[in-house]
Amino acid sequence: MKPSHKRLIQQQLETTLARLACIRDAQRPARGWLRAIREALGMSGKQFARRLGVSAPWITTLEKKELAGSVTIKTMRQAAEALDCVFIYAVVPRDSLADIVRRRAKILAPKRLASVSHSMLLEAQQLSASEQQKTLEQEVNVLIQEMPKELWEDDHDL
């Protein structure tokens, strides 16, 4: 994929993710979302089971599975519908995507420049500290613009 397409996708996704930022730190209720909403609606487990088309004991299992993180997305969607709710599944980055890419580029840039610096040292052409810093920042910017596949190689592979 072309770097320009990667940047466009990143920008479009950032817009969508900005609307979800407010839920990033939301904590699941201690007894789980399904039980909390069911109880807030004044709905019994038996009533919920009937609406979901399952047996009453299965509701207890479902609510336990939600707490354990072992319930499927499909089941959560169906349960939400039975509660007249919408199930939302999202992966929300802790920081902006651009910041995540920049941090990664700052890790990779010195490693990419190391071989060049070694060659220049052998030729007695080493850069001053300010020149090195400027070159490093330029390399970070190149990595951000190009977003090469090596950007996400494991650190030990670099």
Whether the Cβ atoms of residue 26 and residue 109 lie closer than 8 Å to each other:
no
Whether residue 111 sits in one domain with residue 60: no
Plot region of 89 (φ>0 → left; ψ -120 to 50 → alpha; else → beta) = beta
% the chain with pLDDT above 70 = 89
107 belongs to a structural domain: yes
Report the 10 Å Cβ neighbour count for 7.
Answer: 16
Q: What residue type is 87 in one-letter code?
A: F
Whether the Cβ atoms of residue 109 and residue 140 lie closer than 8 Å to each other:
yes
How many domains would you assign to the chain? 2
pLDDT digits (tens, 9 = 90+) for 23-43: 888 899 999 999 999 999 999
Helix axes 45-52, 73-82, angle to 10 degrees: 110
Whether residue 39 sits in one domain with residue 64: yes
% the chain with pLDDT above 90 = 66
148 belongs to a structural domain: yes
Whether residue 113 sits in one domain with residue 68: no
Whether residue 104 sits in one domain with residue 58: no
pLDDT at site 56: 96
Distance of alpha carbon 133 from alpha carbon 129, whole angstroms: 6
CA atoms within 13 A on the CB side of 66: 23
What does pTM read for this prediction? Answer: 0.74
We report the CATH number of the domain holding residue 76 as 1.10.260
Residues spanned by the domain of 122: 97-157
Whether residue 111 sits in one domain with residue 61: no
Whether the Cβ atoms of residue 42 and residue 84 lie closer than 8 Å to each other:
no
Whether residue 114 sits in one domain with residue 152: yes
Whether residue 106 sits in one domain with residue 63: no
pLDDT digits (tens, 9 = 90+) for 116-137: 655 554 444 566 778 888 889 9
Whether residue 105 sits in one domain with residue 74: no
Tell me whether residue 34 is exposed, middle or buried, using C-beta atoms within 10 angstroms of its C-beta: 0 to 12, 13 to 18, 19 or more. Answer: buried
Q: What residue type is 58 in one-letter code?
A: W
Query: pLDDT band for position 3 (50/70/90)?
Result: confident
